[in-house]
Chain A
Amino acid sequence: MDKKLEPIVKDLQEKFSITYEEHRGEVHCFVKAEQIVEALKLLRDEHKFDLLSAQTAVDYYPKMSPRFHVIYQLTSLEKIAFIQLRVPVNGDNPKVPTATSVYDTCNWRERELMDMFGIEFENHPDPRRILMPEGTEGHPLRKDFPLGYEEPQFTFNFEEINIRKPYAKE
């Protein structure tokens, strides 16, 4: 792990008992949903992570439970350090507290996730759809949302496509 990140991860471990993973030099910390706002506040105020570079989500349906990971990619301008926080969220009734009080950019980013994944951000100041028109049904970036045409099945990807086909299976 990067030397700059060691004390930060240790601090997070002590205060929020997080677990972490490393991949190609990136550090991914797993935080519980109810602690995310506090964790972001700690990183911003104590460790100078001023910039929330990206906030996104991944849908692991149907392979993994919990279904979603909400991802916060943070940048520290002063230390030139990068850290990623991941919040696992359950598939039925996905809820995460909003982080708009910590970073203003979360306002639009969370609206996008609400729109695209149907993850609810509690106490969000402006919970409207952002990209899709009002009245759209469903959440396009979920894995069970069809792309709009039938994908051709070959032997090497037959099973993979079969899982997410919308037709009734016997």
Chain B
Amino acid sequence: MAQIEEIGIGQFKHLVSERALRGETMLLNMGPQHPSTHGVLRLILELDGETVINCIPDIGYLHTGVEKNMEAKTYQKAEVMTDRLDYMNTMGNNLAYVMAVEKLIDVDVPPRAQALRVILVELQRIASHLVWLGAFGLDLAAMSVFLYCFRERELVLDIFEMVSGQRMMTTYIRPGGLWRDVPVEFEKAVRDFVKLFHKRVDEYERLMTRNPIFLDRLVGIGYLDKKTALSYGVTGPMLRASGVNWDLRKATPYLGYDQYDFNIPTREEGDTYARYIVRIEELRESLRIIEQALNKLPLGPVRSDNRKFVPPPRSEIGVSMEALIHHFKLWTEGFLAPQGSIYNAVESPRGELGAFLESDGGPKPYRVHMRTPSFDNLAVLPEITKGHLVADLVAILASVDIVLGDIDR
């Protein structure tokens, strides 16, 4: 290992203005341990008084080599790594990866599993937006919002624990369907949550949407226009707040999203407040999708019966020799996926979450790349913070909704 150089201005010479080199502006280090950077993000700020002239994000503090590790595991076992990417959206990560695998091995998913996936992913979207809303409030010094949001998020996590045994690292969505069917209490728990949550969204809105302090801090701050957003690869609520109506659930309906009636909230303003409004409205749309999916939840199996790729149910193993052989083969060697490469993208709470798989015909993925939305959403930060105050930078960063596990992978 080579000697690690001391970090000085020399490294960032080409990124700061000339005034910094003459000592007229100040370079300030914000993070990696800082409460408003949502994890371990380091920002190097060039300041003129309290105005941000340049902002240089420095990432990689949470780099765990997820992609490299996935190459060394079989397709089923690599799935647990995806939970750890964006730890606020574990179901969604599982879904992106699993759908890519399903596309690669060409396995159909039964309708009940699809509907359950929709419900779980939308619940996850609500949980993720709640964490965002809580942290957003916290960054703007609205402590109580944080407590309310985490109270409701707990209900969603309880539902996840009920179905998968885990609150966060669920690995519940598996290639070919789901790990197992949901318990009988599931439907009532979700219905209770939906009924309660309608009122709770109104409560959040009463606290924040028309709050004058809140408006002062947000309106007109961190403007992002359409063209810059697209060029930087920004997706999700951030792109929709800039006036681009793009949602993969509508554009390329997967999991039967075309059967559900829902809107894509879009705003033209492109500022921090617009991003807040878009996410709040997405909470309501997710509720609508969950209600519809629950109302027409079909009965039937939750796992494909293609035994070459999908493990048999536990009940069969005791009575069928073939089932036992399949079970053994699938959990030791894994299945052999056909050669080829796949890119599959889903709409995560933060934007386009893509899984790129390259297979060489073996039981392990030859190369996995997760296209994570936070990575590109953060890259645009230097553009939208220029000329704002440091306090506004905190609000803008909160409105981007980054998850460092998602960025550093």
Contacts and interface: CB of A to CB of B under 8 A. Distances in A.
B367 interface: yes
B246 interface: yes
A26 B356 CA distance: 12
B345 interface: yes
Nearest to B67: A141
A73 B72 CA distance: 24
A20 interface: no
Contacts of B69: 147
Interface string B223-246: 000001011110100000000101
A73 B341 contact: no
A84 B14 contact: no
B83 interface: no
A127 to B, nearest CB: 10
Given A104-B232, A135-B1, A54 B369 contact: yes
Interface in A45-93: 50-54, 56, 58-59, 63, 71, 73, 75, 77, 80, 82, 84
A143 B89 CA distance: 30
Given A80-B251, A131-B63, A137-B2, A125 B356 contact: no
Contacts of A94: none
Contacts of A23: 340-342
B147 interface: no
A167 interface: no
B104 A54 contact: no
Interface stretch (B3-11, B111-119, B183-191): B3-11
Given A53-B354, A58-B366, A137 B1 contact: yes
Interface in B81-132: 103-104, 106
Contacts of A58: 341, 358, 366-367
Contacts of A151: 72
Contacts of B2: 135-137
A106 B2 CA distance: 28
B231 A103 contact: yes
A103 B232 CA distance: 7
A23 B357 CA distance: 12
Contact of B230 (A50, A109, A125, A137): A50
Chain B's interface size range is 35 or more
Interface stretch (B19-27, B275-283, B371-379): B371-379
A110 B343 CA distance: 19
B60 A132 contact: yes
Interface string B350-387: 00101010101010001101010001100110000000
A108 B375 contact: yes
Contact of B252 (A24, A80, A136, A141): A80
A166 interface: no
A126 B369 CA distance: 23
A7 interface: no
Given A53-B352, A54-B369, A80-B252, A108 B343 contact: no
Contacts of B232: 103-105
Contacts of B143: none
Q: Identify the interface centre among A104, A105, A132: most chain B CB within 10 Å of its CB.
A: A104
Nearest to A22: B340
B68 A140 contact: yes
Contacts of B390: none
Interface string A9-31: 00000000000000110101000
Nearest to A108: B379
A135 B63 contact: no
A33 interface: no
A134 interface: yes
A40 to B, nearest CB: 12
B376 A28 contact: no
Contact of B233 (A53, A84, A137, A160): A53
Contacts of B1: 135-137
Contacts of B358: 58
Contact of A134 (B5, B235, B333, B408): B5
Interface of B: 1-5, 11, 14-15, 59-60, 63, 65, 67-69, 71-72, 103-104, 106, 228, 230-233, 235, 244, 246, 251-252, 333, 340-343, 345, 352, 354, 356, 358, 360, 362, 366-367, 369, 371, 375-376, 379-380, 408-409
What 8 A-B pairs are tightest by C-beta distance, nearest first? A105-B233, A54-B371, A131-B60, A56-B369, A135-B2, A104-B231, A131-B63, A23-B340
